[in-house]
Amino acid sequence: GLGDVYKRQGLLKTGLEKEVSENKLYTDRYIIEEAKNRLELTNKKIEQLNEETDNDATYHIELTFLEKEKTQLTAFIAKWGPKDTF
């Protein structure tokens, strides 16, 4: 989830939901907006990858990773974001 992303970036120690909830720097609105930004960047990366592809193994690995990230972000926003998000 998004907590895992923050953990990888060194912004949180564990990335667990409890830590995210207790950290006042990360309001719900901030986290949702950050997820939307990451989704937009992921979509741009997918588009760019599709334009520049050689259709090799590296392309398929990267596309699989980006599609998984897109799915996770979309599910997160749908669950936690404002109901008018999609």
45 or 25, which is more confident: 45
| More confident call, 39 vs 54 | 39
pLDDT digits 0-9 by tens, 60-70: 999 999 999 99
Coil, helix or strand at residue 73: helix
In this predicted structure, what is the pLDDT of residue 4? 58
Looking at per-residue pLDDT, the higher value among 43 and 81 belongs to 43
Model pLDDT, residue 53 = 79
The first and second tokens of residue 1, run together, are 């989830």
DSSP annotation of 10 reads T
Q: Is the pLDDT of residue 9 over 80?
A: no
